[in-house]
Structures are given as structure tokens and as C-alpha cells.
Amino acid sequence: MKRKKDICHALEFAKQIEIGKPWVQDLKKCEEVFQCFGPTLKKQGYTEEAEEIQTVARIAFTVNWWLKTKQCYSISDALAEDLFAMEDLSFPLDAMRLPFPCFYLDMEPFSDRYKGSRGMKLLGYYVLIDDVPYGSPVVASCCSVVTLLMQENGQYAWGGAAFDYDPEHMELSLNDTVDKITAGMPENRQNIANALLFAAYLSSAQSEVAEDETQKCIYRPSTKHKYSSLRKWDVGVRYMAEKQAYAKKQGDTTNTSTLDPGMQDMADGKQKRHSPRPHMRKAHWQAYRIGHGRKGKKVLWIPPVPVGMADGDQKHGNIPAVVRERKEKL
């Protein structure tokens, strides 16, 4: 029986805007060529302002750069819920260490939760963080986020933001970066933040990433843009399973006999309180200085932690969902 054809929006859209010219592989040349497209871009709703044309050029460059490796990620619902709800955006940008310089994050399963601009359906994000050719032999450090959307008529739409950065000479945090590249575009802030939060999670020391088992069976590296040339990764699957198990356990221990000593005293009418009110500590980043001269930087993502809970691990504030460091070098 012939296998049903699978569709990947990231690949289908990339094929639509693929530019089979050498200049698209050099960011500076790409920007120069797009400057010549000013009148054409204006007819399509863009202005002829140099800054906007530069952004459009970088978006096209990003998607064409992604076609080189075609790396796709899917994130579990549980991890997405905790990661994208983070208020702590202090992750240091100079600690970004991605497994691949350009990747696509599939957000279609969350399109009801996270909206695209002007009511369009959100499909996903292309993210590029890499040193790229900028007028050979010069290279430039570039960060670019491209949001892929779908209109009501089924046609693709796209937008995004990009900026220059030098990871060795800057102390920008994730929050600084999001503020910088979404200035004047508040409606895009959550999507840009989500994309960079995911990039930060991949860069953290104990991210949970596993190759998609189904795609692994059919994956064949190729310069041709076929579905089998995509490489897919699942992120946070074990985290989701452990979080569900934790939630089920919590549901079985809700009577007062399982309260911690401080809360049991309160339940018995006593005034003495030995421990803080049970609560969930929000997800946050924890940075460590490592290596010779303590110049290196290691950052961990700490998921929401129960504090003041009753039994075993909960009472001591241990993380319910244990995220183990992957052994495989991606």
C-alpha cells in the first residue's frame, strides 16, 4: 500500500520562496538585491523604507538558509505551557548554543492558544542564530525569527524580525532582545518571545530532545526538498509524561492528612506555621560560571517547582518532572 503523502508547512512554504541564486547565500548581497526590489515590494504592501526592505531580505535569507539542513522541532504541550508562560526572560543571549544554526518549530498544534497577526492561523517559527556570510570573506552574527502563518484562503503569509548581534561582545538578555526587535510591534511580542524562549531552552544544559521515531525510519539526507529529507525532533515528551504522572499523584493526595506539618497545624486550628504556604515556584533560568577563570557560562532551565507540598519529593521542593541531559550529540 502506498504511504499517504505527508505535508510539512515549513517545507512547502520554503519551496515557494526558494531563490536558486548564489547571492541568496550571502546576507549582504541578499540585502543589496532586495533594495532593487523596492517598487515591487511596495505593490505587495511593503514600504520602500530601507529598514523594512532589509527585514524582508533577512526573512527570505533565513528561510533559504533553513533549506540547507531542514531541521524541524515539535514541543510537547506540557513543556510549551510552562516554557512559553515564563516571566523570567533573563537568559543571556551570549549563552545561545544551538544544535543547528537554523531550525523550524512547529506551532500548529497550539494555533488556538497562540494567535498570528490579523487573525491568521499560526503555523510555526523559523529561527536563525548563526555567523553568516556578509560580503565574503566577512561574516556577521545574525539572529532572525520568521513567523509562518496561514490566511483564511489557505495561502501562506509571513512576517518576522531580525537584528545583528555579536555574542562575544554583548550582555543582552532575552528580554532586552525581545524588546529591541518588537519595538513598535507589540502584537508580535509573544510570538517572537516564544521562538527565542525555545531557542534558549535548546541552548540550556539539560534540554530534553529525541529524534522523532516515525521520521527516523524514512529520513534520507538530500539536497532535494522532499519530505523524507526533513529531520524531526521531539522535545519534552518525557517531561509531559512525568508531569501528567505528577498531576495524577496530586489528585490522589488532596485530603488534609497529607498536608505538610505547617499546613496541618493550620487545618487543626493552630496558629503555629512551620513552612511556607504551598505554591508553585515559577519556571526560571539558573546561570553558572564554569571553566578556566570562571569565564564560561552554563545555563539551566528550571521548570515550575512545588514548594511546601506534602509528600516526599514535593515537601523538599524537588522538580516533579526530571529533565535529564541528553547523551546523544546532535
Residues 194 and 147 in one domain: yes
Rounded-to-10 torsion of CA 5, 10, 16, 18: -120
Tell me the pLDDT tens digit for each residue of 57-78. Answer: 999 999 999 999 999 999 999 9
CA distances from 114 to 107, 122, 195 (A): 8, 7, 12
Residues 51 and 183 in one domain: yes
Quote the number of domains for the chain.
2
Q: Is residue 141 a part of any domain in this protein?
A: yes
What's the DSSP call for residue 116? P
Residues 170 and 272 in one domain: no
Helix, strand, coil shares of the chain, percent, nearest 5, are: 35, 20, 40
Q: At what angle do helices 189-203 and 174-181 cross, to 10 degrees?
A: 150
Q: What is the DSSP string of 210-273?
A: EE-HHHHHH----SS--GGG-EEEEESHHHHHHHHHHHHHHHT--SGGGS-HHHHHHHTT----
What is the pLDDT, as a whole number, of residue 272?
A: 52
Residues 151 and 292 in one domain: no
The closest of 73, 75, 138 to 102, measured between CA atoms, is 73
The rounded distance, in Å, linking the Cα atoms of 259 and 265 is 9
Q: Is residue 320 a part of any domain in this protein?
A: no
What is the pLDDT, as a whole number, of residue 149?
A: 95
On the CB side of 4, CA atoms within 13 Å amount to 3
Residues 231 and 91 in one domain: yes
Residue ranges for the chain with pLDDT beneath 50: 1-3, 254-268, 270, 312-330
Q: Is residue 269 a part of any domain in this protein?
A: yes
Residues 59 and 196 in one domain: yes
The closest of 70, 71, 57 to 26, measured between CA atoms, is 57
Contact 114, 120 (CB under 8 A): no
The rounded distance, in Å, linking the Cα atoms of 129 and 133 is 13
Residues 141 and 260 in one domain: no
What is the pLDDT, as a whole number, of residue 54?
A: 84
Range of the domain at 292: 256-307
Residues 151 and 260 in one domain: no
What is the pLDDT, as a whole number, of residue 52?
A: 79
CA distances from 98 to 60, 128, 143, 186, 322 (A): 21, 10, 12, 27, 22
Q: What is the DSSP string of 71-95?
A: EEEEE-HHHHHHHTT------BGGG
The rounded distance, in Å, linking the Cα atoms of 70 and 5 is 18
Q: What does the chain come to in residues?
A: 330
pTM, entire model: 0.82
What is the pLDDT, as a whole number, of residue 285?
A: 93
What is the pLDDT, as a whole number, of residue 106?
A: 97
Cell of 289: 560560571
Contact 285, 299 (CB under 8 A): yes
Residues 89 and 199 in one domain: yes
What is the pLDDT, as a whole number, of residue 101?
A: 92
Residues 195 and 288 in one domain: no
According to DSSP, the β-strands at 156-164 and 139-150 are: antiparallel
Residue 54 CB-density burial (10 A; 0-12 exposed, 13-18 middle, 19+ buried): middle
